[in-house]
Structure 1
Amino acid sequence: MNTAIMIASPSPQWLGTWAQGLEDRLITTASSLDRLYEELVRRQPEVLLLDLALPGMGTPMEIAPLLRRHAGMRIVALGTDGDDHRELALFRIGVRGCCRDDIAPSQLAQIVAAVMRGELWIRRTLTPRLLDELGARLREESEGRREAVARLQELTRREREIADLVGNGESNKEIARRLDITERTVKAHLTEIFRKLRIGDRLKLALLITEAPMC
């Protein structure tokens, strides 16, 4: 089955040029922000070739909500013109590729194939910087998990009991029944558990308990 691709640009010239190298693909075009939103819902493309000159889609802050709403869609941003800071910001939010708008149509087809394989289309000079940022982020997250695991020792016996049951996937109602307490009491304990561990929800608590089961 051919890859479903959408091309979004306010320029008829770029819409036509970029489509030239993608003749064997299922292509939809959008020349405005409203049209883009409509077609994304209707077509659910696998790849979006996004012209950063499209009003309302020129910055990482504007593009990020689009990625959240259409998880799994791969975006290639065109028109970056070699701006290091802009491209790095786009990769940070989840864009899969960046290139100039005057790229050859045949090369654009190569980019689509690459991002569909799970690769990033990124300039070689930016790769070390992006890897350094990723490494630093992973180290921070790992340190945060270690600190949270250490804070498990601050829980009372009842709090740890409830935390372990959350780790087993039990609901507040099930926990209340098992411990012979009210759901309101379970919620109060969870509020205190989240405060002590400095986490915000039961999913993070369940993951933490899985990493550090009670001895």
Structure 2
Amino acid sequence: MKILLCSKNENILKRWSTGLGSQNSVFEATSVETAYRIMKSNSIELTLLHRTMINEQQIIDMISAKKDTKVFVLSDRPRNEEGISCLRLGCVGYANSYIAHPRLNLAVQAVSSGLIWTGSSLMQHMIQTSSSRIKKTGDGETGRPAVLDKLSKREYQVAALVAEGLQNSEVAQRLDITERTVKAHLSSAYAKTSTQSRLGLARLFSTS
């Protein structure tokens, strides 16, 4: 995968490059101008943008100019409001600039397969906001969505708790099962309900 790393901070560039490993073709840019030049001469599939390097309008311009390139923003001090703003602009991910190497690779794999990546704090915030908005406005159909009937009793329990914003460890503790079992039930629930994220489950349960 061809990935462009954009930051004025050499240490950040080195950190990201090391984390991504040799399985990807990595390019580096320390300015927006250089980033565009690299994009023009290479078929960049994903751009990791350091938030301190670029403003909101430049993010919009980059996404508009390079529609075939996915944009992932990383911030030194992640904030839920900023993360939501980036996703609304069309970014495929938002995370901490100092994200651990294993999670950086997971994030890249997720967005390359068409998913959206956020940190756990932002995801919980989005789930809670979505649930509160739907309940407050009465948006959505009443009654339990038929697709939830496809779930086994345990899958339903796991999915319902995840939809409330609980982390896997909290679900495991609540149901007295292992985190590995939680992940297995969650994967099955995603497949059966045709959802791809915790937020998707939250929206589904908000109508039930």
User: Structure 2 length as normaliser, TM-score?
Assistant: 0.57
- Which residue number in structure 1 is paired with residue 69 of structure 2? 73
The list of structure 1 runs, each at least 4 consecutive aligned residues, that deviate by more than 4 angstroms after superposition, is 129-132
- Which residue number in structure 2 is paired with residue 86 of structure 1? 82
- Which residue number in structure 1 is paired with residue 100 of structure 2? 104
Mark the structure with the bigger radius of gyration. 1
* Equivalent position SS for 1:39: helix
**In the alignment, structure 1 residue 62 sits paired with structure 2 residue 61:** no
- Aligned residue type for 1:33: V
* Equivalent position SS for 2:17: helix
> Structure 1 residues 63 and 129 mapped into 2: Cα distance closer, same or farther (>3 Å)?
farther
Structure 1 residues 18-58: Cα deviation after superposition (integer angstroms, max 9, x where no partner):
0112121011000112111101111131110100111xx13
1:87 Cα shift? 1.0
- Which residue number in structure 1 is paired with residue 141 of structure 2? none
User: What is the number of equivalent residue pairs in this alignment?
Assistant: 130
Q: Which moved more, 1:77-86 or 1:88-97?
A: 77-86
* Aligned mates of 2:59, 2:128 — CA distance in 1: 22
Q: Which moved more, 1:81-90 or 1:42-51?
A: 81-90
Runs of 5+ unmatched residues, structure 1 = 136-215
Structural RMSD (CA)? 2.2
Contact 2:76 2:98 (8 Å CA) reproduced: no
* Aligned mates of 1:130, 1:32 — CA distance in 2: 35
Bigger relative CO (Cα 8 Å, ≥ 6 apart): 2
Identity of aligned residues (%): 20
**In the alignment, structure 1 residue 46 sits paired with structure 2 residue 45:** yes
- The 5 Å alignment of 1:1-215 reads 3-23=1-21, 24-54=23-53, 57-58=54-55, 60-79=56-75, 81-122=77-118, 123-128=122-127
Contact 1:80 1:98 (8 Å CA) reproduced: no
User: Structure 1 length as normaliser, TM-score?
Assistant: 0.56
* Aligned mates of 1:49, 1:115 — CA distance in 2: 11
